[in-house]
Structure 1
């Protein structure tokens, strides 16, 4: 991808470079006209002829940055930063290093950036959490991402699904004039069929809306009869003359169109366009009352910000409002998409902590929460943007240059259930913090273990339609297990009420429930551990107590086998108690096999009698 759409979807502001000297004049002119492919070639000639300096290296790096040629960009930023002290250069260098997966090197450049511009929000976020990458990589996966047949061999992006139609912007029309920034044809808006199997077919350009300039992306009202789309201000015969570049530059404008029958017409620009800044990437709320868009208009915090504007009943517009610093940064934020609930906003940002390039974030606009990174596989080290989702269809799209070109990917939610566990005292209802809470799958594999917070809470996200088990324990309380039934979510609550340990202690022994072992095994199970924790608690409360653990079997099996098995189980029991902080001198174990049956029933024992004979005893020696 050539970074054309990262800043404002396409050229959105006048950018003038002052030539450093006569040697750079030709390259600078191409750069100022956004013809980065040819500009890079001219700067490279200066390098090859020994006429390069810090300025040339930075221009060469920036040209490749704007085309998202990450390897080349990082290479030249490395040279540029040998002499260039500009904070943004360090930041861009870090972004390119991240895009190459070189996180440690990227952090070194971010430290320089933060030192050069300590008041920048991006610098503050880095200083507060410099090693955030592992946390992002460990995030629960929320969506599956797969290639979509909406893509072509040219740039395709901004796909949005309405009913059974997909709309997107594409440069696939090879017959049209190419654009210097990307060496690709100008963008058009396309419409395609969305089939029941999720395939996208029959893509055709919307000729009623497309012009000879860049057109797209587009957003459409719920009734399908009104559209807002981005195009160039050339459509309104508005542009700015740059004498040094000998060129005219347009802005990106937003336009409104209405549908009559199968035809789009009545195309008019919105009233808040202005020839000094751009408005782009529109997204309309499902109630049709609010339009979200990206813009570099006055009041923006960075290059481009996310804004919103009210659409009044009479068709007029309110005053555009910046979404503030929970969304926007000193970097670039763009490609907003407001979900069906009218409160969840997805957007792309290069200024927030991400994996590299643009990352996709979501934020709940209704509760003042912070924006969260969607993590992998939605985000990668490359540019990931234009995330959209149709709640009715349960399907959406993502745009990314992860494969080297702007492509459209299909996204589908990974069905998950947020399981909230609250640990309490079963007798008093008191909240229990610092309790150990594990969640296990149906094969008893421990997936994760966390300590309950001050509210007694632990939250886990698990897959839909699968059973799980929660295990909770805390010193002074009987551990217990709690079933998490199959569910499609979105949430499930488990009240993990733990009984305070109240063990029967006689003059000769500590009475526990049976310590169960798996067949022919001697390892301690979780259920057995819960019971042994009671023994540990009693011994901690009575620090002089010494215990003998005796393990018995029933009379099935040979004498030698039963004796050996019970001895292994007794030793496992002792080792568990020692592992919980009890001195080895205070507990010993012995396997008794079938030598001391509780019920002497010979060969005619019932199952109940066998169970009584399979027991562990904890005798008080001292």
Structure 2
């Protein structure tokens, strides 16, 4: 029996959805009066009673959009776009809310939808003209130069490390005497070693004695003193496995094991107590002090796929594994962690923006900054992974299947130069600040270059290695700041620039904020406006006796009556935002004054002068 669906016909007028009916009448009245808090509450009550359609969903989304309640706006816009509406503004507003929450990938997808529906819109044109991330990656200065390693064989070779005692350990399927593995029809993996010479060459590889089993073995990591090895092997060693549904096949998990060196030989391969037959642990990397073991696992509590974890080590005692969080991990796969003596984590991801397949990223765990794609030539469109860097030797070894599809080993050495990435944030809210002007000064205080932060608050600068720099950062509404970067030998360095918001000036008659500007012909609260209004909320909480009257203004374009109505909508939007932050509605009111009180009197106004006249005052 077929179900019958009633399709409502909607009328789009001035970007607004019109489908009022008896059930939404009261809520619509509140919305039309710009009383978005009460309107949202009224629409929510309808949904709780089982009345929810795309009209109600969009009215909820737009209410929260106008209040700059990003979390709730995203929740409801997500439902709206599921029905593929033809209103381009829905996608634009959704993108803006996602961007405000830092979800740039999803924001980009919504902007693509917006651009398809309104290709000639200036916002769409600007979006389409922006270079995509891949272009940016390809334009990065190379920070490593690479060459093939003579250690590679015709079989799979990967997971190499260079130790302080000039030994390279790596994993290989080159042992033809071993039985083959059904997945790739190559022999089971073993751990090999070779000597790393001062000129970058290597000796012939030999099998590491005592740590290899009849199952897959490797990759491995070795402590700084060279006396303890952590190695990946299979749960079959412990006679632990899972059976297939038909009971005819057995499946192992990957376990972590520990071995110690005695009289120059590895002994005592013992499983770690954190192993579990319900999931796999592999690809270990031990910190310089031997107290933290990093590894990858699909254990519960992650973000999806395989994540990177760490666990504390105290002799033979191990703590509770900790996930490295969403800055490192994604719903995809992050694997092959390698920690340096400088606490820089290298790892591979198949989900973060890269060239294709697995890409290698670096993350400075000292600053907890976002990971950086190490760029070409280390990364390619193929799988690039298992990058291990020895800082004292300024040498790295990594793996890639870029040639012929077989995993091979490559050597990498740093190129002298620094990619300084300045991240500008609000010191109070910790939110990113875009369009902040950044001046780069060298150690003689001479200006090197300047640029502005992007939508994520970031900007990168290619500067010389082994030289100290400072960054003078300024943004309207914030106090200027100077942030220094010590001399860095090479690679990428994060400089976190926290700007202090300029506090409001309080007089007997006025609270003076930085100007709160509106977009042309718009009345919704922008991100910049929200920043300033939050300061007013703080002042009003500190002075509970304070009562505020908001005056909103337009520029001189448009008819007087229209501008008066537009400014009144802006005043009401401003009032609604303040109330949404917990301020009693008895303490805040507002009125629009149209174009009658320009801040910058002008006959043929420039765009900047028009923008200054579109404002709210208190």
Question: d(CA) in 1 for partners of 2:453 and 2:326?
Answer: 32
Shift of 1:231: 0.3
Deviation at 1:207, TM superposition (A): 2.5
Compared CA separation, residues 394 and 237, structure 1 to 2 (3 A): same
Aligned to 1:126: 105
Q: Which runs of 5+ in 2 are unaligned?
A: 1-80, 84-93, 110-131, 423-434, 443-447, 472-486, 496-618
Describe the SS at the equivalent of 1:144.
Answer: strand
Deviation for aligned residue 1:181: 0.6
- Rounded Cα–Cα distance in structure 2 between residues aligned with 1:253 and 1:288: 19
How far the C-alpha of 1:140 sits from its partner, in A, is 2.3
Instruction: Report the RMSD for the aligned CA atoms in angstroms.
Output: 4.4
What is the CA distance between 1:226 and its match in structure 2? 0.8
Task: Kindly report which structure 2 residues correspond to 1:264-283, keeping only aligned pairs within 5 A, or say none.
Answer: 264-283=266-285
Q: What does residue 186 of structure 1 align with?
A: 188
Q: 1:235 Cα deviation (Å)? A: 1.0
Secondary structure in 1 matching 2:137:
helix
- SS of 2:304's partner is coil
Relative to structure 1, is the Cα distance of residues 229 and 449 closer, same or farther in structure 2, using a 3 angstrom cutoff? same
Return the index of the structure with the highest Cα Rg.
1
CA drift of 1:377 comes to 1.2
Matches within 5 A, 1:18-417: 124-129=103-108, 131-163=132-164, 164-244=166-246, 246-313=248-315, 315-341=316-342, 343-403=343-403, 404-417=405-418
Say whether the 8 Å CA contact 2:437–2:450 is kept in structure 1.
Answer: no
Q: Structure 1 489/348 Cα, relative in aligned 2: closer, same or farther at 3 Å?
A: closer
Alpha-carbon distance between aligned partners in 2 of 1:334 and 1:268, rounded to the nearest angstrom: 23
Q: Is the 8 A contact 1:333 1:348 kept in 2?
A: yes
- Indicate the SS of the match to 1:408: strand
Per-residue CA deviation, residues 310-339 of structure 1 (Å, 9 max, x unaligned), is: 0024x2100011111111111011100111
Quick one: structure 1 residues 464 and 290, their matched pair in 2 at CA, closer, same or farther if it must change by over 3 Å?
A: closer
Q: Does the residue aligned with 2:106 lie in a helix, a strand or coil?
A: helix
- CA shift digits 1:23-80 (9 cap, x unpaired): xxxxxxxxxxxxxxxxxxxxxxxxxxxxxxxxxxxxxxxxxxxxxxxxxxxxxxxxxx
Q: Secondary structure of the residue that 1:172 maps to in structure 2?
A: coil
Alignment check: 8 A CA contact 1:337 1:347 kept:
yes
- TM-score, normalised with respect to structure 1: 0.50
Decide whether the 8 Å contact of 2:143 with 2:490 is kept in 1. no
Q: Secondary structure at the match of 1:216?
A: coil
Structure 1, residues 395-430: CA drift from partner, whole Å, max 9, x if none?
A: 011111111210111011111146899xxxxxxxxx
Counterpart-to-counterpart distance in 1, 2:149 and 2:421: 35
Structure 2 Cα separation of the partners of residues 355 and 334 of structure 1: 17
Q: 1:183 Cα shift?
A: 0.9
Superposition map of 1:547-586 within 5 A = none
CA contact (8 A) 2:159 2:219 kept: yes
DSSP 3-state at the match of 1:215: coil
* Contact preservation (8 Å) 1:147, 1:408: yes
Tell me, in whole angstroms, the C-alpha distance in 1 between the residues paired with 2:276 and 2:436.
Answer: 57
> How many Å apart are 1:462 and its aligned residue?
3.5
SS at 1:212's partner residue? Answer: coil
| Distance across 1 between alignment mates of 2:213 and 2:337 | 24
Per-residue CA shift, 1:86-128, capped at 9, x if unaligned?
xxxxxxxxxxxxxxxxxxxxxxxxxxxx979x9999x955223
Question: Counterparts of 1:435 and 1:301 in 2: how far apart (Å)?
Answer: 35
1:458/1:282 CA distance change after superposition, 3 Å:
closer
Separation of aligned partners in 2, 1:226 and 1:438: 45
SS in 1 for 2:204: strand
- Shift in CA distance, 438/174, structure 1 to aligned 2, threshold 3 Å: same
Q: What CA deviation, in whole Å up to 9, does each residue of 1:499-545 have, x standing for no partner?
A: xxxxxxxxxxxxxxxxxxxxxxxxxxxxxxxxxxxxxxxxxxxxxxx
For 1:258 and 1:230, the matched residues in 2 are separated by 14
What does residue range 387-466 of structure 1 map to in structure 2 within 5 Å?
387-403=387-403, 404-417=405-418, 450=451, 460-464=461-465
Cα distance in 1 for residues equivalent to 2:264 and 2:406? 33
Maintained 8 Å contact 2:284/2:296: yes
Relative distance call for 1:380 and 1:310 in structure 2 (3 A) is same
**Following TM superposition, by how much is the alpha carbon of 1:263 offset from its aligned partner in structure 2, in angstroms?**
1.4
- Post-superposition Cα deviations, 1:417-459, rounded to whole Å, max 9, x if no partner, equal 46899xxxxxxxxxxx98897999xxxxxx9874699xxx986
Cα 1:438/1:243, change in 2 over 3 Å: closer
Alignment CA distance shift 1:352-1:452 (3 Å):
closer
Could you tell me how far apart the structure 2 residues matched to 1:489 and 1:321 are? 30
Structure 1 gaps, min length 5: 1-113, 422-432, 441-446, 471-485, 494-622
Distance 1:394 1:156 in 2: 22
* Residue equivalent to 1:516: none
SS of equivalent to 1:201: coil
> Hey, what's the Cα distance between the residues in 1 that align with 2:421 and 2:188?
50
Secondary structure in structure 1 of the residue aligned to 2:205: strand
- Tell me the TM-score normalised to structure 2 length: 0.51
Given that 1:396 and 1:410 are in contact with CA atoms closer than 8 Å, whether structure 2 keeps it comes out as yes
Distance in 1 separating the partners of 2:381 and 2:453? 34
Checking the alignment, whether the CA contact within 8 Å between 1:437 and 1:458 is kept in structure 2 is no
| SS of the residue 2:236 aligns to | helix
Residue 6 of structure 2 aligns with which residue? none
Rate the CA distance shift 1:173–1:460 in 2: closer, same or farther, 3 A. Answer: same
* Inter-CA distance 264–345: structure 2 relative to 1 (3 Å threshold): same
**Cα 1:292–1:115, aligned 2, differ >3 Å: closer, same or farther?**
farther
